Every structure is written in structure tokens, then in C-alpha cells.
Amino acid sequence: MELDSRLDTAVRLIDETHRSSSTGSMTAGSGPIAKEARGLAVVLLFAAYENLLSTLTRTLLEAAIKCRVGNRRLRPGFRMFAIESAVKSMKDMSDKKIYSHSLPRLLDQIDSGGRACTINPAAFPSDGSFMKTSQIKVWCDTFEIGPPQRILRRTWGSVDTIVMQRNHIAHGAQTPDEVGREYSEAEIRTLIEDWRQDWTDFLVHVEQLGSSRDFYRLPR
């Protein structure tokens, strides 16, 4: 599983940089490389769940398309993806074409009958927060997954901090060493394993819901 692979990399990074000094003169994990490793582990935590949500989104949208039902039979969250392209096109349309082009196209996609399904499998329900807790809530609301904090109970309070620290490293506001100083070896190891458990539980929950065709379509 991709989630495990990415988190295993974080564990190996900590393992390789937090070995006790052969002379015993330095506490394991106190050197600059160890601090940098803990900072880079934060980046890997972010990448692990960003990839998970992106991959899950495409998997669910492709599964909805395979149900072979028209837009009107899709559940509301999936129907939003069916009209996404029409909504986006409205932003670039002049006022005089709203009623002659944009709104008719939007209505046509909403009311599409028969087997027509216009879901874009490459879409993502972004809220512009770049993967903060608000993004996870929007994702779960869109797919009717339920409150995410009930599943991510160990790590929910850490998500926004991880996003902020990852962004600081990526944009140069902080170095990996500076971020790494904010965690002890024990703290980063615990966070990695809690991250693994919570996001695995999240994945299992979504997969269970997504195993039913009624997750994607409305009953007749």
C-alpha cells in the first residue's frame, strides 16, 4: 500500500539518523542531521495523506462512472463532479451568454438522462486550504463519509500543524532542521505510527462504504 510505503520511508529515515554515538558522548538524535531527518519526516507525513486523498478521489469517481447511471441517478456529491466543468466554464462567460450558453449547459448536465454521466475522474473537491482539516471536512462532506475527526482521533489535532510546517519547509520559511527541533525522536516516531493507524482506518472505512453501488447512486 502506498501509504505504508511512504511512512516506512519516514521510519527508515529516523532509524538511520538516530543511532547512539559509538563513544556515548552524544545522545542519539541530538545532531543536526537527526533534526533535519525529523523535519523531513514531517514532509513525508504530509505527502502520505495528500496522496491518499487524491488517489481515493479518483478511485471513487471512476467507480461512480462504472455504475453506468445518468447524472440524475448519482448521489449529490458525485453529481457535483458531473457539473463541475459547466460551472467552471461559467466563470469565463460574459453576462450576455449566461442564459444562452452557460445555464443551459449546466441544466443539461444536471438533467442528463439515460446512461449519460459527465463525471470528470481527474477532479478534486479542493477548498483552497491545501490539505488542512477544512479540506478533509469538505472531502468527507462531499462523499458523505461522516465526521473525519471520529476516525482520525489520534492525529486530527496535528493535521494543520503538519500542513503549516510542510509549507514552511517547501517555501523556505523554515529549514528541516528548524522544524525537526520541535519534535523529539519519541514524538516523531509516535506521530508516524499514529498517522499510519488513523489513515489506514480512514482508508478501510471509505473502502467499505465504496463497496456498495448505493454509495454512488440514488435508489429508484
User: Three-state SS string across 88-143, please?
Assistant: HHHHCCCHHHHHHHHHHHHHHHHCCCCCCCCCCCCCCCCCCCCCCHHHHHHHHHHH
Check residue 24 and give its pLDDT.
45
Could you give the dihedral angle defined by the CA atoms of residues 129, 136, 56 and 53, in that order, rounded to the nearest 10 degrees? 50
Check residue 95 and give its pLDDT.
72
Other CB atoms within a 10 A radius of the CB of residue 142 amount to: 19
Check residue 104 and give its pLDDT.
81
Check residue 114 and give its pLDDT.
54
Check residue 115 and give its pLDDT.
64
Check residue 5 and give its pLDDT.
97
Q: Which of 166, 129, 148, 118 is nearest to 56 (CA)?
A: 148
Per-residue pLDDT of the chain (220 residues; tens, 9 = 90+): 899 999 999 999 999 999 864 444 445 566 889 999 999 999 999 999 999 999 999 999 999 999 999 998 999 999 999 988 878 777 777 776 777 777 787 777 777 555 689 999 999 999 999 999 999 999 999 999 999 999 999 999 999 999 999 999 999 999 999 999 999 999 999 999 999 999 999 999 999 999 999 999 998 8
Check residue 25 and give its pLDDT.
41
What are the residue boundaries of the structural domains of the chain, listed by start?
2-19+29-68+127-215
Q: Quote the CA–CA distance of 218 and 73 in Å, as a whole number.
A: 5
Check residue 56 and give its pLDDT.
98
Check residue 30 and give its pLDDT.
67
Check residue 112 and give its pLDDT.
59
